[in-house]
């Protein structure tokens, strides 16, 4: 990049333009998500729970099982687990 007017400057400019384009696309996608979650809320669904469902579906099954096991361990350790005989 010793030549400010040469190929390195052109390459740098191309990177900057690509970054700007992706940032614009990212903003548009985030706006779309915001609109979807507004629809979710207006349809009577819980937005936060739906976000958890989407996050849960994204995970590999073995990772979900591992997280569930650790969660259960913590709940039991804190004495917050429901008794099985209380039904």
Q: Can you give the pLDDT of all 87 residues of the chain as single tens digits?
A: 456 656 799 999 999 999 999 999 999 999 999 999 999 999 999 999 999 999 999 999 999 999 999 999 999 999 998 877 655
Task: Report which DSSP code applies to 84.
Answer: G
User: Residue 2's pLDDT is what?
Assistant: 53
In which element (H, E) is residue 63 found?
Answer: helix 61-77
User: Residue 78's pLDDT is what?
Assistant: 95
User: Residue 73's pLDDT is what?
Assistant: 95
User: Residue 4's pLDDT is what?
Assistant: 61
């Amino acid at each position: 990049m010793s030549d400010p007017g040469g190929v390195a400057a052109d390459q740098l400019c191309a990177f900057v333009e690509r970054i700007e384009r992706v940032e614009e696309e990212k903003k548009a996608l985030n706006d779309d998500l915001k609109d979807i979650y507004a629809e979710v809320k207006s349809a009577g669904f819980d937005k936060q729970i739906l976000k958890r469902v989407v996050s849960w579906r994204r995970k590999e099954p073995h990772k979900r099982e591992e997280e569930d096991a650790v969660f259960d361990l913590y709940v039991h350790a804190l004495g917050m687990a429901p008794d099985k005989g209380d039904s």
